[in-house]
A and B are shown apart, each in its own frame.
Chain A
Amino acid sequence: MTAVPARRPWSGRIPGAAAAVIALAAFVLAWKALVVVTGYPPFIMPPPEQVAARFVSAWADGTIAPHALRTLYEVLLGFGVGAGLALVAGYALARLPLAERLLSPYLVAAQATPILALSPLLALWFGPGLTAKIVICALIVFFPVAIATMVGVRAVDARLLELARSLRATRWQIVTTLEIPAALPAIFGGLRVGVTLAVVGAIVGEWSGADRGLGLLVNLARGSLFDIPLLFATLLTVALLGIVLYAIVVLVERTLVGAR
């Protein structure tokens, strides 16, 4: 029998980090090769070093920062509202048969309607301000989190519920000490999907009218500014924003769920 160490030693983690660096290098090299081989002009396909330089300069001169902050703000608020409502709805869907029968058709219909098509309507209703973006973010986050919560709560072992009942737990105690902790891994599965979708939601919302945000900057860079390296730098920022938020969710998940 081989002893399995409880925690991987540092040396065991380095290959993972190294693999990530190698993958990134390969991606950049492939990009560069594509530019060299095809000979596309920079306004179609700027080479990686030009995008990197523009990324640094646009952050340094304050071109990106205010837009990125606005988008981050929209994402956080929209994700908070959407995920919060989804947790409650997901629980209700799991435990109240009537709620599922009444709500699920609307839920699926809302999910099946492309958010891209819904966005102009929401902009019309809520105006060009923050509200429309938060609504779009919340809408797009809602479905995966609600479904994950529903599945997670339904999967709670009935035998544990019987245990709690034998210990005279109240309804609320069962929710807080049993159902939520037990469903947490599933819920975090939904939150991981939700947080990346929230970024998409914010960008889509900004496309339908905004005075600030990364979505607006994308439009500006390819339109009136016609600064394609800036367009790429903005897309890079959007991607990084998604990665960082996703990483935060994973980190919180590790803290809350831990080893089981």
Chain B
Amino acid sequence: MTGPTATPRTAAPVAAGRIDLRDIAVTFPTGRGERLTALDGIDLTIEPGQVVALIGPNGSGKSTLLRVVAGLLVPDRGEVAIDGTKIDGPDRRVGLVFQEPRLLVWRTTASNIEYPLELAGVEGAVRRARVAALLAIVGLEAAASQIPSQLSGGMRQRAALARTLALEPQVLLLDEPFSALDELTRERLNLELLEITARTPTTILLVTHSVQEAIFLADRVVVLSARPGRVVADIAVNLARPRTLGDLDASVVGATAQTVRAHLGEAAA
């Protein structure tokens, strides 16, 4: 071949979005002046572009850990770094999708998606173009000028996802984002999530209660123990991408699920 040399994949901009969690401990005050340990000594490194699912029994501090990475909660001990810079507050490189959509009910879908850009002081024309692109990505063009009360649950959570993507975060944190939706909508949104995040390399840390969902979405499943939350297992998911719903029947999924469940059993004990 005499054509121009093929651009190697590694020539792409240096992958960003590496998360380093070092010895994270979080405690909460209880009513009686004591402190409850929610997380204790969490060490975790997530490579750029990796998808990691956090799973564990109730009270294992999964959401708490997400809030620490989001800079919304200062740990009592340890530190979080993204690409080597310490997180000491909400960071523009990090986007968080909450369990509920948390849309502003007085704003339209488009205006809700525009909100982070507005807060960040992005110029009007850029904002509008970005919102139009995001509406297309999450398939909400037709609902652009509707208000949240006119949207279905799935549409609201899509809008919330688009809002989080507006600032193009390198790290995406998902706190059981589709857990309030019905099974079918949830599967569809999980697929869409895979497609959307495959387009732009994004590191994803997600909390889930579903073993299947964890395996379907993630490269690694991290199992946390019951309070105080500690990492009890870190299981690789050897399932090629792109993934389809059919992959859920693959034998590797069953085997991985068994391993995860075994560790969940010991986590709950």
Asked whether, in the complex, the Cβ of B147 is within 8 Å of the Cβ of A260, the reply is yes
Asked whether, in the complex, the Cβ of A165 is within 8 Å of the Cβ of B72, the reply is yes
Whether B149 sits at the interface, judged by CB under 8 Å, is yes
Asked whether, in the complex, the Cβ of A177 is within 8 Å of the Cβ of B72, the reply is no
Q: Using Cβ atoms and an 8 Å threshold, which residues of chain A touch B90?
A: 165-168
Partner of A163, one of B71, B91, B92, B102: B102
Given contacts A162-B72, A181-B106, contact A168 B119 (CB under 8 A): yes
- Residues of A144-171 at the interface with B, using a CB-CB cut-off of 8 Å, are 157, 159-160, 162-170
Number of A residues near B (Cβ < 8 Å) is 22
Asked whether, in the complex, the Cβ of A259 is within 8 Å of the Cβ of B72, the reply is no
Q: Using Cβ atoms and an 8 Å threshold, which residues of chain A touch B147?
A: 259-260
- Residues of A230-260 at the interface with B, using a CB-CB cut-off of 8 Å, are 257-260
Instruction: Give complex CA distance A119, B106 in Å.
Output: 41
Asked whether, in the complex, the Cβ of A167 is within 8 Å of the Cβ of B72, the reply is no
Whether B65 sits at the interface, judged by CB under 8 Å, is no
Whether B1 sits at the interface, judged by CB under 8 Å, is no
Q: Using Cβ atoms and an 8 Å threshold, which residues of chain B touch A181?
A: 104, 106
Given contacts A163-B98, A260-B149, contact A168 B92 (CB under 8 A): yes
Say what secondary structure dominates the interface of chain B. Answer: loop
Instruction: Give complex CA distance A152, B119 in Å.
Output: 23
Partner of A177, one of B70, B96, B118: B118
Partner of B72, one of A166, A170, A184: A166
Given contacts A165-B90, A169-B119, contact A178 B104 (CB under 8 A): yes
Distance to closest chain B CB from A102 (angstroms): 27
Distance to closest chain A CB from B173 (angstroms): 9
Whether A219 sits at the interface, judged by CB under 8 Å, is no
Whether B116 sits at the interface, judged by CB under 8 Å, is yes
Whether A50 sits at the interface, judged by CB under 8 Å, is no
Partner of B115, one of A157, A167, A170, A258: A167
Instruction: Give complex CA distance A59, B162 in Å.
Output: 60
Q: Using Cβ atoms and an 8 Å threshold, which residues of chain A touch B91?
A: 168
Given contacts A159-B98, A162-B72, A260-B147, contact A167 B106 (CB under 8 A): no
Whether A104 sits at the interface, judged by CB under 8 Å, is no
Instruction: Give complex CA distance A169, B72 in Å.
Output: 13
Chain A's closest residue to B102 (CB) is: A163
Whether A63 sits at the interface, judged by CB under 8 Å, is no
Whether B234 sits at the interface, judged by CB under 8 Å, is no
Distance to closest chain B CB from A167 (angstroms): 5
Given contacts A166-B96, A167-B90, A259-B147, contact A159 B119 (CB under 8 A): no
Asked whether, in the complex, the Cβ of B102 is within 8 Å of the Cβ of A159, the reply is yes
Q: Using Cβ atoms and an 8 Å threshold, which residues of chain A touch B105?
A: 260
Chain A's closest residue to B116 (CB) is: A167
Instruction: Give complex CA distance A164, B167 in Å.
Output: 14
Instruction: Give complex CA distance A162, B175 in Å.
Output: 14
Q: Using Cβ atoms and an 8 Å threshold, which residues of chain A touch B102?
A: 157, 159-160, 163
Distance to closest chain B CB from A19 (angstroms): 29
Chain B's closest residue to A185 (CB) is: B106
Chain A's closest residue to B91 (CB) is: A168
6 more A-B residue pairs beyond the given contacts A167-B116, A168-B119, A260-B149, with a C-beta to C-beta distance below 8 A? A157-B102, A165-B72, A177-B104, A177-B118, A177-B119, A181-B106
Supply 6 A–B pairs (Cβ within 8 Å), ascending by A.
A159-B98, A162-B98, A167-B115, A167-B116, A167-B120, A257-B106
Q: Interface of B with A (CB < 8 Å)? A: 70-72, 89-92, 96, 98, 100, 102, 104-106, 115-116, 118-120, 147, 149, 167
